[in-house]
Structure 1
Amino acid sequence: MTRTHPPTGVSDVDVPVTTGAFEAKAAAAVARARAWLPAVDDAVFGCYLGDLVGQLAPTSEADPIAIYASLLAFAGVHLGQSPHVRAGDDPHPLLVWPLIIGDTATGKKGTSWSAAKRVIADADADFAAANIKGGLTSGEGLAQRFALDKDGEPPEDLRLLALEPEWGGVMAKMRREGNSLSAILRQAWEGGDLSTLTVNARIAPQSHVAILAHITPKEFKDRLSDADMAGGTYNRFLPLAVAWSNALPDTTGADPGLVCSLAADLADRLATGASLGALELAEDARGLWRDLYLEFNTGDHHAKVAQFVSRALPYTKRVAGIHAALDGTPVIGTDHLTAAAALIRYAIDTACTLFTSTINPAKLAAWIAEAGEAGRTRKDITTGFFGGNTHRDDIEAVLTQLIDAGTITRSSRRPDSGKGRSIEIYTARGQPQN
Structure 2
Amino acid sequence: MNHAARPLRVVDEPAVPDDASPDEAEAIAEVARARAALPTVDPAVFDCYLGTLVEAVEPHTEADPLAILASLLCAAGVRLGQDPHVRAGDDPHPLLVWPLIVGRTSAGRKGTSWSSARRLLRAADPDFVSRNVRSGLTSGEGLAAMFVDDDSDTTPGRLPAGDRRLLMLEPEWAAVMNRMRREGNSLSATLRAAWEGGDLSTLSVNARIAPSSHVGLLAHISPREFRDKVSASDMAGGTYNRFLPLAVARSKFLPEGGAVDADTMTELGTSLADRLIAGASLDTIGFTTAASQLWRRLYVEFGRDHGDDGPVEQFIARAAPNCLRIAAIHAALDFSDAIKPNHLTAAAALVRYSIATARAVFTDTQTPARLLAWIAEAGEQGRTRKDITTGFFAGKKKAADINALLEQLIDTGRITRSSRPRVDGRGGRPTEVYTAQTPRT
TM-score range, shorter chain: 0.7 to 0.9
Q: Within 5 A, what are the aligned runs for 1:303-314?
A: 303-314=310-321
Cα distance in 1, alignment partners of residues 55 and 227 from structure 2: 31
Q: 1:339 aligns with which of 334, 346, 356?
A: 346
Give the SS at the match of 1:300.
coil
Cα deviation for residue 18 of structure 1 reads 6.8
Cα distance in 2, alignment partners of residues 427 and 201 from structure 1: 60
Over 3 Å counting, the alpha-carbon distance change for 1:402 and 1:317 in structure 2 is: closer
Over 3 Å counting, the alpha-carbon distance change for 1:184 and 1:254 in structure 2 is: same
Cα deviation for residue 402 of structure 1 reads 5.3
Matched, 1:272 2:282: no
Give the letter aligned to residue 324 of structure 1.
A
Give the letter aligned to residue 241 of structure 1.
A
Matched, 1:348 2:355: yes
Cα deviation for residue 396 of structure 1 reads 7.4
Greater CA drift, 239-248 or 391-400 = 391-400
Q: Which runs of 5 or more structure 2 residues have no equivalent in the other structure?
A: 154-158, 408-416, 435-441
Give the SS at the match of 1:426.
strand
Equivalent residue number for residue 40 of structure 2: 39
Matched, 1:99 2:100: yes
Matched, 1:201 2:207: yes
Cα deviation for residue 158 of structure 1 reads 0.9
Cα distance in 2, alignment partners of residues 168 and 21 from structure 1: 37
Q: Within 5 A, what are the aligned runs for 1:8-407?
A: 19-21=19-21, 24-149=25-150, 155-298=161-304, 299-356=306-363, 357-359=366-368, 376-378=382-384, 392-393=392-393, 397=397, 401=401
Give the letter aligned to residue 349 of structure 2.
A
Cα deviation for residue 104 of structure 1 reads 0.8
Over 3 Å counting, the alpha-carbon distance change for 1:359 and 1:394 in structure 2 is: farther
Over 3 Å counting, the alpha-carbon distance change for 1:395 and 1:117 in structure 2 is: farther
Over 3 Å counting, the alpha-carbon distance change for 1:132 and 1:362 in structure 2 is: closer
Give the SS at the match of 1:306.
helix
Cα deviation for residue 358 of structure 1 reads 2.7
Q: Deviations over 1:57-76 (max 9, x none)?
A: 11110000000011111000
Q: Within 5 A, what are the aligned runs for 1:410-421?
A: 412-414=422-424
Give the SS at the match of 1:247.
coil
Are the aligned partners of 1:403 and 1:409 in contact in 2 as well (CA < 8 Å)? no
Cα distance in 1, alignment partners of residues 370 and 226 from structure 2: 25
Q: Deviations over 1:263-293 (max 9, x none)?
A: 1100010000000000001111122111101
Cα deviation for residue 179 of structure 1 reads 0.1
Cα distance in 1, alignment partners of residues 179 and 371 from structure 2: 41
Give the SS at the match of 1:413.
coil
Give the SS at the match of 2:201.
coil
Q: Provide the alpha-carbon RMSD of the alignment.
A: 3.5
Over 3 Å counting, the alpha-carbon distance change for 1:391 and 1:102 in structure 2 is: farther
Are the aligned partners of 1:174 and 1:181 in contact in 2 as well (CA < 8 Å)? yes
Cα distance in 2, alignment partners of residues 112 and 154 from structure 1: 27
Cα deviation for residue 360 of structure 1 reads 6.5
Are the aligned partners of 2:38 and 2:247 in contact in 1 as well (CA < 8 Å)? yes
Give the letter aligned to residue 255 of structure 1.
D
Give the letter aligned to residue 392 of structure 1.
F
Cα distance in 2, alignment partners of residues 156 and 328 from structure 1: 25
**What TM-score does the superposition give when structure 1 sets the normalisation length?**
0.83
Cα deviation for residue 403 of structure 1 reads 6.3
**What TM-score does the superposition give when structure 2 sets the normalisation length?**
0.82
Are the aligned partners of 1:103 and 1:217 in contact in 2 as well (CA < 8 Å)? yes
Q: Which runs of 5 or more structure 1 residues have no equivalent in the other structure?
A: 383-389, 416-423, 429-434
Cα distance in 2, alignment partners of residues 147 and 361 from structure 1: 45
Over 3 Å counting, the alpha-carbon distance change for 1:160 and 1:410 in structure 2 is: same
Q: Deviations over 1:51-96 (max 9, x none)?
A: 1101111111000000001111100000000000011211010011
Cα distance in 1, alignment partners of residues 36 and 396 from structure 2: 19
Over 3 Å counting, the alpha-carbon distance change for 1:260 and 1:414 in structure 2 is: farther
Give the letter aligned to residue 344 of structure 1.
V
Cα deviation for residue 35 of structure 1 reads 2.6
Give the SS at the match of 2:233.
helix
Over 3 Å counting, the alpha-carbon distance change for 1:118 and 1:6 in structure 2 is: closer
Cα deviation for residue 221 of structure 1 reads 1.2
Cα distance in 2, alignment partners of residues 281 and 6 from structure 1: 34
Cα deviation for residue 378 of structure 1 reads 4.5
Give the SS at the match of 1:279.
strand
Q: Deviations over 1:145-197 (max 9, x none)?
A: 11241699993211110010000000000000000000000000000100111
Cα deviation for residue 391 of structure 1 reads 7.4
Are the aligned partners of 2:11 and 2:251 in contact in 1 as well (CA < 8 Å)? no
Give the SS at the match of 2:284.
coil
Give the SS at the match of 2:220.
strand
Cα deviation for residue 333 of structure 1 reads 0.2
Give the SS at the match of 1:335.
helix
